[in-house]
Structure 1
């Protein structure tokens, strides 16, 4: 069956009121260069005919926390998601839609009888039950439950195929880089095809189409420009096809964060904490918390909630506990000329369980997951084996803030532009899920790592990574181009979209209606509950790794 992009555009359908295009990691510096090289003509037309400004992201500016902030209009302290993983004591799980405890754009629209089609937006699995359709994206399983039930089968029948993840795992050398980028572009095409099919079928008032590979191409291929151009060109082509098919009255483009080079060395925060007397390490165990351990399961269609080491990984942990670490074994293999073979064939989980790890129960403070951008403290009465008495919490935290503020890089400049208690960044009923101390790298030039190590500073693991400024674009009927939005923030997107649709935004939102659209008055919506959300069975899983954010 031919793909829907090969079909003639549908005519006679109702016009979509508002289209929101999500470009993960989109930012002005990247857009400007792509525009100059005529790679993104459709996006460039929106920039030229509309209002464009940087969009300040939140802390932490990473996909699993930032997209929920964008589509709820509230900070993580109110919606509850701070990173790829959520934690229960010292154990962890991959976050999903059930971890987001706030009304979404589309659920508020549904409250007012307005319909939506949402495709590929991260952290939307399992989907909400609304008037319209939802196909979840990143961090859900490969075959996610969608709304309405069975709609994914209909999409695949209509467009030929639909996948959430690439068909290969990162590090798979059986495919060339060109073949991998072809797969990226195929995924991008699937997003546009699926969205157009659903928009034609449901005729929604609001559409939200997100592209993730615009971010991943930087992580996986170190920002190689020709590869970036191919992925953005594919996304731009799909945006053009959607604009032609749906003829939205207003179009918004928004990103969760920006992207740029990290010019300075990686900082191993836990190495500093160990030398400062806050952190203990151990050999043997499950390894450092990371969602990487569950990504292969997601790619294979399983709901990867938690991770337990395989038999081989447990053996590696046992060997590490008697001093035979994966690192030490790797040095021997290097001397034998087998280093590259080992890197290609040894599962990453073996490296995780077979090397030095943080001893969480016996530490006072540690970085648990690098994308949280902060340090967690091990507090009596709060954490299972807390080591810091509650009456000493504030004093110990203040001391640790001062010590982190004093850290300088090899060039003599401060590593952090801000070190502060979590209350300075987060507010709401889920603030207690945040790190105790927020650490913001200076100009986002230092990649922060949670991996224990003897050295504080090493060559950066990912030379291209997240920056604070994303992008916001608004174009179409009724957009007031005379108004400045240079101070636009991630939290402003949801209330602005609601106002553009003539719907009151929630008085719980942290953002404001940007002055480019006519403001609506806020209203008090019912407290958010999970009662209207679809349910999904969990599958216990045990493999590892595929897409990025590797320690």
Structure 2
């Protein structure tokens, strides 16, 4: 199949965290006319996400059509034994839809899609999104400088550290507008067959300003304005709106998994050691008391606010922050006034090498076994692996909330959710909180239960809508794995037999055939080596620390 020269055939708008419970009230209020027109003119419904339903793992599942056991990204962090690094596009081991289309002679423009840095060769243009450095490499290599020359400014991340809700809303609008302008410029330049434009702020706003309905509304209105702008500029034949997961208020409890495992003798606890660090939660470091009365406490709060703002810029982790605050006499004050505690590194930690089982990070939604022969200091013999999983599953299935309700809707072996050559990178036991209404934490707090760590949390159901050519009939049982097979079908390209989804019901099935979804077949497929990353100016340690801090500010890293 080759480019027919008829302009943009299929356009995807990605709205991170969008779902019908958020969109429907805004539709009813007349706030989102452009998005609503897509929903009204076509077919829409919930889009079930995967496990875990978080940005770095879910978007690759959506744009490759395979589960994390095949594409290899399970979390914001990638683990090598007990060490970790922030994930990027080189960790995605499956071919994205635009590379599949490129093999068919079709051109794509991709803007702001998460976990796409560093980009790979394909026919078209790509500007990376979330998880990329501040000044990411694009495809082609000079694309970012070209955009900045034409637009005046282009940023991957909004600058909202220590901003008021009103200031943040303005910053969100600016960044959202940059996405729309960049896509229109590139669409005009490349005349693509396929376009994919993602907006991250529809998720970010709930993490940074969960109680500010006006700020949330401002973000969605800004996105809707850019949706209309892009539709007017490109006039696509077919349009899809997709999200990686949903978002909703959390009304359940907080459950400290490692505290529970330690209590039952599975997790070892130490003062310091080789456990997971705690990152500075800069979002939480906006103090409970916003007043700046002229007293000693107010002066300290003001200084602490400035210190945490510096941390946001330089990626200061908790261990670094502890030394900094001690030096200026604010360590005790911070522990009293910062809700999540800026300083925790000197406290109790899970000792990974000495533990039989532990939760590495809450967003993995599960428990990892410290297996001999797989993990560097594994203590669980292979012959005990299955019996230990059985014991832990039974133990976790019996956990009840303080109200006497089951905490988990499912506790299962990882094979129930992950399948593929990368599945060994997953947790060994998957834990699915009931309705995703309970907050799982990997921290050691002293108690097994507490108030949820965040007022809003990701939900399993996102949203999908589709309208235009090639779309007809009701939409049923949509899953995030189905998006890539559906996009390929819209171009008459059979899906791979290795893909885990199916073509969504409103689009005609064009068959399956055997071809690899693994990235080795795409050329330049190996993960970037440490030496390569070290020589790239935008892959510096500072960039990774800044990303750690952003993730902590949003509550993803504890």
Q: Quick check: TM above 0.5? A: yes
CA 1:68–1:311: 2 relative to 1, 3 Å: closer
In the aligned structure 2, how far is the partner of 1:283 from the partner of 1:424? 35
**2:512 is paired with a residue of what secondary structure?**
coil
Corresponding residue number in structure 2 for 1:500: 490
Tell me, yes or no, if structure 1 residue 158 matches structure 2 residue 150. yes
Corresponding residue number in structure 2 for 1:102: 94
TM-score where L is the length of structure 1: 0.87
Corresponding residue number in structure 2 for 1:514: 504
Tell me, yes or no, if structure 1 residue 204 matches structure 2 residue 192. yes
Is the 8 Å Cα contact of residues 196 and 242 (structure 1) preserved in structure 2? yes
In the aligned structure 2, how far is the partner of 1:216 from the partner of 1:294? 14
Task: Spell out, residue by residue over 1:81-133, the C-alpha distance to the aligned partner (whole angstroms, 9 max, x if none).
Answer: 10100100111011111111011101100110100000000000000211110
Corresponding residue number in structure 2 for 1:545: 549
Residues matched between the structures, number: 511
In the aligned structure 2, how far is the partner of 1:53 from the partner of 1:71? 19
Corresponding residue number in structure 1 for 2:435: 443
CA 1:290–1:106: 2 relative to 1, 3 Å: farther
Tell me, yes or no, if structure 1 residue 129 matches structure 2 residue 110. no
In the aligned structure 1, how far is the partner of 2:213 from the partner of 2:318? 37
- Worse overlay, 18-27 or 448-457: 448-457
In the aligned structure 1, how far is the partner of 2:333 from the partner of 2:278? 26
Task: Spell out, residue by residue over 1:181-214, the C-alpha distance to the aligned partner (whole angstroms, 9 max, x if none).
Answer: 2111111111111011100100100000000000
Is the 8 Å Cα contact of residues 93 and 291 (structure 1) preserved in structure 2? no
Match of 2:404 among 392, 409, 412: 412
In the aligned structure 1, how far is the partner of 2:488 from the partner of 2:71? 18
Q: Post-superposition shift, 1:179? A: 0.5
1:430-509, aligned counterparts within 5 Å? 430-480=422-472, 482=473, 484-509=474-499
1:68-467, aligned counterparts within 5 Å? 68-169=60-161, 172=162, 175-285=163-273, 288=276, 332-333=332-333, 339-340=336-337, 343=338, 348=342, 351-467=343-459
Is the 8 Å Cα contact of residues 54 and 458 (structure 2) preserved in structure 1? yes
In the aligned structure 2, how far is the partner of 1:165 from the partner of 1:298? 16
Is the 8 Å Cα contact of residues 286 and 309 (structure 1) preserved in structure 2? no
Q: Post-superposition shift, 1:299? A: 8.5
Is the 8 Å Cα contact of residues 278 and 318 (structure 2) preserved in structure 1? no
In the aligned structure 1, how far is the partner of 2:247 from the partner of 2:165? 21
Query: Considering only aligned residues, what root-mean-square deviation do their CA atoms show, in Å?
Result: 2.8
- Structure 2 residue runs without a partner (length 5+): 284-308
In the aligned structure 1, how far is the partner of 2:496 from the partner of 2:55? 23
Is the 8 Å Cα contact of residues 274 and 352 (structure 2) preserved in structure 1? no
Q: Post-superposition shift, 1:516? A: 1.2
In the aligned structure 2, how far is the partner of 1:59 from the partner of 1:469? 11
**1:472 is paired with a residue of what secondary structure?**
strand
**1:118 is paired with a residue of what secondary structure?**
strand
**1:362 is paired with a residue of what secondary structure?**
coil
In the aligned structure 2, how far is the partner of 1:452 from the partner of 1:426? 28
In the aligned structure 1, how far is the partner of 2:508 from the partner of 2:224? 29
1:17-56, aligned counterparts within 5 Å? 17-56=9-48
**1:461 is paired with a residue of what secondary structure?**
coil
**1:207 is paired with a residue of what secondary structure?**
strand
- Structure 1 residue runs without a partner (length 5+): 1-12, 320-327
Corresponding residue number in structure 2 for 1:324: none
Q: Post-superposition shift, 1:297? A: 12
Is the 8 Å Cα contact of residues 278 and 345 (structure 2) preserved in structure 1? no
Q: Post-superposition shift, 1:15? A: 2.5
CA 1:310–1:59: 2 relative to 1, 3 Å: closer
Q: Post-superposition shift, 1:167? A: 2.1
